[in-house]
Each structure stands twice: as C-alpha cells, then as structure tokens.
C-alpha cells in the first residue's frame, strides 16, 4: 500500500540548512512558552471542571470562532507534543458535545500527528536511519510487513505514548496516506470515548475515572482484531512454505 515516492525518503534532496534549526526552535519555543505561561496548570481536570460554566457560555455566544480556535489549538498541541491531550479532548466534548467533539478531536489529532510525521520524515529520518543498528533495523522491518495493521494496532491499544507513535513511523517506508488512514481509524474509538466523557464532565471527580478497565479491555480487543490479518497472512505463508517440498516430491 506504500507509494514509491513515499518510500525513497533517503533519495530526496536534503532540505535547506536553516529548516532544521527553525523547526527545532519552533518546537522548543512552543514547549517553553506553554510551561512559562502556566499551560500545565490550565490543562488539568480540576481547572476544566471549575471553568465548566464559563466555557459553555462562551462557546454558545461565539460558537464558530471557538470551534475554529479549538481545532487549531488542538492541532498545534499535538504537533508540539504538548502534554494534556486527554484534558483537551474532554474540553472539546464538554463545549461541543459528543458528536461534534469527536469530529474535532479526530480531525485535529490526525492533522497534528501528520505534521509530526512529515517533519520527522523529511528532516530527520534519513540521518536517523543511517545510525540505526541491526536490531533496530529488524524491528522496523517487522513493522513494514503490514504497516497499516501494525500502526492501527498501536493507535487502538495505548501501549506507548501518542507522541511516540506519531514519530516512529517516520523512520519506516509507510506511505503518508496509509499513515493518515490508520491514524484516523485507530484514534476514532478513543476520540468518541473522551468526547462522551467530556459531555458528562460533571459526573467525573478524578482522573482515575476517565478510562475504566472495561474500556481498556475493549481497546485491547480492537487491537487484537487489527493484528489478525497480519497473523493470518504469516500463518498462510508458513503453511505454504512447509507444503511446497512435499507437493514437489509428490509430483516427482
């Protein structure tokens, strides 16, 4: 499913020298500004609940302006890997309801993740790939066997941080369209869960109540289903390889 032009990243012309420092400055500057302005204090469940009525009132008065600002803000937060995506998802569910909130989370998170992926791929992937050892190369090769289903699994099952799953595929030959499709499909269930929780924010008292064991089990089950095509394909390949010598002997 990967397009050749997406796979030959190492063959692309090197970007201008000033691009990498600029991207690094924007990333570091964004994180520094976030913490310097107390963003980590605002992105908390307590702060969200205490400003619940004000957020709802302002959203009602300036619906479309707030919607655009929320979409852009969430995208930037994901692109800069700012901690607090769960709280932002709850906020969107609170302000826009479960359905519009889900749509906004899905679009913004996919856009932000894709920006991280593209930046890493076209600016740093070639250099990083040259420094990878043999073991890392084998791991990446395994990821390449079925990029869509592997990435879908990683999106569905929260085994690794979201920012890490955004970054790692940039060092593989996965195509951009496969990355976007697997990301959008994989984060859809979680987007709905958090938007739905955000809509009922008044009933949530602690961060521990955000995701139940049943919800995590459901995500794990979805992840297993995502990997089933990969397992079946490998089983068929092994079965075919083991049967070939016997078939040839029978014909002889």
203-230 burial, b at 16+ Cβ within 10 Å, e below that, comes to: ebeeeeebbeeeeeeebeebbeebbeeb
Residue 37: the pLDDT is 65
pTM: predicted TM-score of the whole model, two decimal places: 0.72
Rounded distance, CA 56 to CA 63, Å? 10
- Report the domain count for the chain: 1
Residue 11: the pLDDT is 52
The verdict on residue 59 lying in a domain is yes
CA distances from 203 to 11, 94, 192, 210 (A): 54, 12, 17, 10
The verdict on residue 237 lying in a domain is yes
Residue 66: the pLDDT is 94
The verdict on residue 172 lying in a domain is yes
The verdict on residue 163 lying in a domain is yes
The verdict on residue 180 lying in a domain is yes
The verdict on residue 166 lying in a domain is yes
Residue 109: the pLDDT is 95
Rounded distance, CA 162 to CA 211, Å? 16
Contact (CB, 8 A) for 104 and 74: yes
Task: Tell me the pLDDT tens digit for each residue of 168-220.
Answer: 888 888 889 999 999 999 898 888 888 888 887 766 655 555 555 545 555 55
Half-sphere exposure of 17 (CA within 13 A, CB side): 0
Residue 65: the pLDDT is 95
Residue 1: the pLDDT is 44
- Report mean pLDDT in 10-residue bins for the chain, 252 residues: 46 61 68 64 78 91 95 91 84 92 95 90 67 56 74 81 83 89 90 85 58 53 55 55 54 52
The verdict on residue 5 lying in a domain is no
Rounded distance, CA 109 to CA 230, Å? 26
Residue 101: the pLDDT is 94
Rounded distance, CA 41 to CA 23, Å? 26
The verdict on residue 119 lying in a domain is yes
User: Which structural domain range is residue 236 located in?
Assistant: 11-131+146-251
């Amino acid at each position: 499913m990967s397009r050749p032009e997406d796979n030959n990243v190492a063959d692309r012309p090197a970007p201008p020298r000033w691009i990498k420092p600029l991207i690094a400055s924007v990333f570091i500057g964004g994180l520094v500004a976030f913490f310097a302005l107390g963003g980590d204090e605002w992105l908390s469940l307590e702060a969200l609940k205490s400003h619940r009525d004000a957020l709802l009132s302002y959203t009602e008065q300036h619906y479309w302006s707030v919607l655009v600002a929320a979409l852009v803000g969430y995208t930037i937060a994901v692109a800069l890997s700012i901690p607090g995506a769960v709280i932002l998802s709850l906020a969107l569910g609170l302000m826009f309801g479960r359905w519009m909130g889900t749509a906004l989370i899905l679009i913004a998170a996919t856009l932000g993740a894709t920006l991280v992926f593209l930046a890493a791929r076209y600016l740093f992937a070639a250099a990083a790939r040259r420094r990878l050892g043999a073991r890392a190369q084998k791991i990446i090769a395994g990821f390449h066997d079925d990029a869509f289903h592997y990435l879908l699994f990683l999106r569905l099952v929260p085994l690794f941080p979201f920012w890490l799953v955004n970054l790692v595929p940039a060092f593989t030959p996965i195509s951009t369209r496969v990355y976007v499709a697997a990301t959008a499909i994989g984060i859809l269930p979680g987007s709905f869960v958090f938007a739905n929780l955000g809509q009922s924010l008044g009933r949530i008292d602690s961060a521990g109540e955000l995701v139940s064991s049943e919800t995590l089990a459901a995500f794990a089950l979805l992840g297993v289903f995502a990997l089933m095509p990969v397992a079946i394909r490998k089983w068929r390949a092994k079965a075919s390889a083991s049967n070939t010598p016997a078939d040839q002997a029978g014909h002889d």
